[in-house]
Structures are given as structure tokens and as C-alpha cells.
Amino acid sequence: MKTKLNLSTWPRKEHFGFFSQFEEPFFGLVATIDCTKGYASAKAKNVSFFIYYLHKVLAAVNNVEEFRYRISGNEVVVYDRVDASATLTREDNTFGFSLMEFNPEIEVFSANSKAEIERVRNTTGLFTREFDNDNIIHFSAIPWVDFTSLSHARSFTFPDSCPKISVGKMTEKDGRKSMPVSVHVHHGLMDGYHVGLFFDALQREMDN
């Protein structure tokens, strides 16, 4: 479900109007997340680490209200729940877009995600299903690269306000595991402060 945000009382109304006029209203940054406890927890639960950290990313996204904002015409709507459209690779190294629906229970999320991964792997092309709403984040994993920056291919004429989150290669140093996480968001909907809230929430999720 979604509700309209009351723009008349929203403190960021002017910011929304200003940045929404930009050809490129998205901004992005990369930060490193400690995943030592998260990796151990995933192994203990017999859950793939990809599914585990995607679940934690979605938990953090749903925890920060601004990450559930989307632009609809000249309005801003707030979704009750946000899912992920993750790029999933196939044996031929192509990928397709998926829909990973968030569930707070990791076991339920894992089972549903495994089914979606298998479905995409048995399809061809990019668009393997229809997306009825924009209550999604665009998610990708780049486990081959310990990146320090990242950009996205974007059409400036296509209306889009979905956050884009990417995770890089996990590395280990002095017994601690870490990985880079890239976040790109619409500046009309949030600022660096809110991205900081997301990273704080994600670290808590990984530690718990």
C-alpha cells in the first residue's frame, strides 16, 4: 500500500521542487560495511550470503522512511513496504531482472528468493516479469570487484526515483570481513543524512 506525502507540511518541499528539475537528480556514494558477524550468521543459518545480505539491505531500506518515498507525477508517495529488483546472472553470464519480495523472516525470504533465482535462471532476456509498482530498489551484486566508486547507466528522460544499491567483493583483513556498498538516490527525496541513516541501519542489521 502507499499513501500521499503532504507536500505542504514537508520540510523538504523546496528541495524536492529544486532537485526534481535536474536532468540528473541522483547522487551517490560508497561506504564499507563490516560483514564479519553477518557472514558467520549466514553460514550458521545455512543461507547463501547473497540472499542474506540482500535481506539485510531490504531491512535497512524499509527502516528508513525516505527510502520508501517515490515520485508519482508532481506528488510524492510513501510505500508501506519496499522490495528488490535484483539482477541475477545465468550460466551464460547474461542477467535478468527479478523481484525479491521482502519478508522480515530470513527463512521465508530465503525460500522465496531461491525460487525466484531458479525462475530467472530458466528464462532469457532482461525483463523476465512485469513490475506493477515502483516500490522496489534496483539491486546488483558485483562480487568480483572491491570497488571504491560506481556509476549507473541511466536514461534521463525516463521517470525514475527508485534507489539503486550495489554490493561489491567481500575482502578480509586482520580477521575482519568487509565489502563496499554503493547507494544512488534521488536528491529530491533525500539527502546525505538519510543515506547515513541507511548505512547505520545496514550495519546494525549485519551485526545482529
d(CA 161, CA 164): 9
- 10 Å Cβ neighbour count for 152? 12
Backbone CA torsion sign across 65, 70, 71, 76: negative
- 10 Å Cβ neighbour count for 8? 6
List active site positions: 187
- For 51, the enclosing helix (H) or strand (E) is helix 49-63
Angle, helix 192-207 to helix 36-44, in steps of 10 degrees: 50
Asked if 29 and 83 touch (Cβ cutoff 8 Å), the reply is: no
Asked if 177 and 35 touch (Cβ cutoff 8 Å), the reply is: yes
